[in-house]
Chain A
Amino acid sequence: MILGQSSSSRIVSHAVLVTGAIIMVFPFLWMILASLTPQSEIFDGSLLPTPTLHGAIDNYGTALSAIPLLRFMANGFVVCLAILVLQIAIAIPCGYALAKLSFPGRPILLVGVLLGLLVPVQIPTIPIYIALAKSGLLDSYAALVLPWIISVFAIFLFRQFFVTFPDEVLDAARLDGFSELSIAWRIMLPAAWPAVVSFSIFSIVAHWNDLYWPMVVITNPDMMTASLGIAYFRQAGEGAGNVGALMAGGVLVTAPLVSFFLLMQKHFIRGLVLGRH
């Protein structure tokens, strides 16, 4: 409770928040209910579909059998993990160098990182696509992972976090026998743990949900990630037009992320606050 705030203004602010929450939650609620309802009864004119057991079995059965949904999710999992690990492996030393090492050209590199933050992924799509095509990497994990492994956002976030780290500790480490790389891994990484956790959440959410890039580089259904798989399901195969099964697929694909979010909620919110500084 915030001191000095009158109870009437608290009621108003809570009313606004509750309204917002209902608007946010409603599509998810509808998705879950529709995934449990037989196809023919979903659009029966009521606000929320009415679930039935056989509708649920039907929809989830279709979602899992009509397309290799588990394969899509496994692909998505591998891709997200590979992207995250490589992003951190690159961004931690880069952020450390930009924050704490003095070398010629550092200010220009930092400006380059900031400029990189301003470029949306759609702009370099065609050159990256051509590069991947020419190296024969289309329709592979590499095509899904490699374009993302340098995250300027991560470099900048870690750099901001490292700048405030006391220089004397780094000097002490150098005297204690740490190399610059072992300083980055053994001292900076643990110190930046909150930033790493919140970046991980951002990265995993973004790449699990990403539809754009997989659509550009993947045509082989075996390589599809979860989001692309759902889109594929909607348009092709026997799932086309089957809204109930589509929603069942949606629930299955969303579930890992939602449970991950609930698990990490505290870190996630701290990460949002951190990003503002």
Chain B
Amino acid sequence: MAALDLHIDDIGKRFGAIDVLRGICLRVAAGEFVTLLGPSGCGKSTLLRIIAGLERADQGHVRAGGRGLDAVAPKDRDLAFVFQSYALYPHLSVHDNIAAPLVMRELSSLERLPVIGALLPGAIQRKRSIQERVRQTSGLLKLDALLERRPSALSGGQRQRVALGRAMVRKPKIFLMDEPLANLDAALRIHTRGEIARLHKEMETTTIFVTHDQAEAAALSDRVAVIFGGELRQVAAPADLYREPVDLDVARFLAQPFLNELAVAAPIGGGLMIGGSRIIIRDALGSGLAGTLAFRPEHATLAEKDHPGALPVRVTRIEHAGIDAHVFVDAEAGAQFVARISAERARSLRDGDNLGLTIDAEKAWFFPSNGSRQRGDHSGAA
């Protein structure tokens, strides 16, 4: 089915004295699944509400399929919204909840009346078509057995499916989802996540999904847009985002769950001094600025204490996490690091062991204190 592309152009929004959103520009291709990721209060939900027309932007424009949406009422934007709280109509049955958008759009106010409506020509046929589509949707979401129930008699996961059904039933061109999984328990969240991915694959509707959970974003999205403090920091495919974060906030936010950080002075002679060892981080070359060295736990390895170039460290704690283990170590300089190694190897380690920590310089980052990292050209080897 047809999907629309979405252009978000220089959107700004203030609540009182606070800039909630500043100069947000984002292009979403037709059929693409884009996640807005950021900590709570970063403005991602406000952006979604602006796209939906539920909130008015102070500046900037939203266009869908080339059509400007700024002056279009929410119901005429041809998009559907799934709310975190599900937002079902409490007094209507599951069937009527799903049917509501069709009934409100396709029947006149006279045809909606209980007795008179049934007598009007054409209304019966339209009502039958609505029922047909409600049935299809409920079948797709396995809600058939629940159609007569009220939302209050449903579990959280069932309510979520009804909310999805209500959004899907009129086949919108764009889906907006505001943390739809946040109120579900962990197992159900992962299950529903799969359902959403499956539905997106089937329907190929352009989808904007808001979450603060980076695992959710990575699992679902074609691209992730990371928002901090009302600013769009980076838009990239999940794997690129993890590998090449543009700044320290993004790197931290995508930590799984740990990130090693070390404040360092301006690099001298093309290398950073960490304790007694010097490591070369390509990012840092030529910047001449102080900043932060950061690397993911899997980009550090533990070697013998006297391994050449290794930083002498002492094991303080080991956390097993399935196939891997996180080893927490103290360096002599007082810094703390985490290395991710195989659980197999971690079995031979004990608290208090003295080891050497080596950092994969190819994969570590240097974030200058004045903001974003320069994207290094990684084609040439050091």
At the interface, yes or no: A173 with Cβ under 8 Å from chain B? yes
At the interface, yes or no: A136 with Cβ under 8 Å from chain B? no
Q: Is the CB of A176 within 8 A of B100?
A: yes
Which residues of chain A come closer than 8 Å to B101, judged between CB atoms? 175-177
Q: 0/1 per residue, A145-182, Cβ < 8 Å to B?
A: 00000000000000000000010110111111110001
Q: 0/1 per residue, A182-225, Cβ < 8 Å to B?
A: 10000100110100000000000000000000000000000000
Question: Given the known A-B contacts A178-B104, A182-B104, are A173 and B79 also in contact in the complex, defined by CB atoms under 8 Å?
Answer: no
A182 CA to B54 CA in the complex, in Å?
Answer: 17
Q: Is the CB of B104 within 8 A of A177?
A: yes
| B44, chain A: closest CB distance, angstroms | 16
The tally of residues in A whose CB lies under 8 Å from a CB in B reads: 16
Best-buried of B49, B83, B105 by chain A (most CB within 10 Å): B83
Report the nearest A residue to B54, measured CB to CB.
A171
Q: Is the CB of B83 within 8 A of A171?
A: yes
Q: 0/1 per residue, B78-107, Cβ < 8 Å to A?
A: 011101110111110000000011001100
Best-buried of A166, A177, A178 by chain B (most CB within 10 Å): A177
Contact of B88 among A169, A182, A190 (CB under 8 A): A169
At the interface, yes or no: B52 with Cβ under 8 Å from chain A? yes
Q: Is the CB of B89 within 8 A of A173?
A: yes
Which residues of chain A come closer than 8 Å to B105, judged between CB atoms? 176-177
| B60, chain A: closest CB distance, angstroms | 21
| Chain B interface size, under 10 / 10 to 19 / 20 to 34 / 35 or more | 20 to 34
| B112, chain A: closest CB distance, angstroms | 8
Report the nearest B residue to A171, measured CB to CB.
B54
Which residues of chain B come closer than 8 Å to A191, judged between CB atoms? 90-91
Q: 0/1 per residue, B52-86, Cβ < 8 Å to A?
A: 10100000000000000000001101011101110
| B150, chain A: closest CB distance, angstroms | 11
Report the nearest A residue to B79, measured CB to CB.
A175
A230 CA to B24 CA in the complex, in Å?
Answer: 73
Q: 0/1 per residue, B118-137, Cβ < 8 Å to A?
A: 00000000000000000000
A168 CA to B55 CA in the complex, in Å?
Answer: 12
Best-buried of A171, A178, A187 by chain B (most CB within 10 Å): A171
Report the nearest B residue to A174, measured CB to CB.
B74
Question: Given the known A-B contacts A169-B90, A187-B89, A191-B90, are A176 and B104 also in contact in the complex, defined by CB atoms under 8 Å?
Answer: yes
At the interface, yes or no: B282 with Cβ under 8 Å from chain A? no
Q: Is the CB of B104 within 8 A of A175?
A: no
A178 CA to B49 CA in the complex, in Å?
Answer: 17
Which residues of chain B come closer than 8 Å to A169, judged between CB atoms? 87-90
Which residues of chain A come closer than 8 Å to B373, judged between CB atoms? none
Q: Is the CB of B85 within 8 A of A175?
A: no
| A180, chain B: closest CB distance, angstroms | 11
A182 CA to B75 CA in the complex, in Å?
Answer: 13
Which residues of chain B come closer than 8 Å to A173, judged between CB atoms? 89, 100
Q: Is the CB of B88 within 8 A of A175?
A: no
Which residues of chain A come closer than 8 Å to B54, judged between CB atoms? 171, 174-175
Report the nearest A residue to B86, measured CB to CB.
A168
Q: Is the CB of B91 within 8 A of A175?
A: no
Q: Is the CB of A175 within 8 A of B75?
A: yes
A173 CA to B89 CA in the complex, in Å?
Answer: 8
A167 CA to B74 CA in the complex, in Å?
Answer: 15
Best-buried of A178, A182, A191 by chain B (most CB within 10 Å): A178
| B297, chain A: closest CB distance, angstroms | 39
| B77, chain A: closest CB distance, angstroms | 8
| B334, chain A: closest CB distance, angstroms | 49
A166 CA to B151 CA in the complex, in Å?
Answer: 14
Question: Given the known A-B contacts A191-B90, A191-B91, are A176 and B75 also in contact in the complex, defined by CB atoms under 8 Å?
Answer: yes
Contacts A/B (CB < 8 Å), 14 sampled? A166-B85, A168-B83, A171-B52, A171-B83, A172-B83, A173-B100, A175-B74, A175-B80, A175-B81, A176-B100, A177-B101, A177-B104, A187-B91, A191-B90
Taking Cβ atoms with an 8 Å cutoff, the residues of B that contact A are 49, 52, 54, 74-75, 77, 79-81, 83-85, 87-91, 100-101, 104-105, 109, 166
Closest 6 CB pairs of A and B: A177-B104, A190-B91, A168-B87, A176-B101, A172-B87, A177-B75
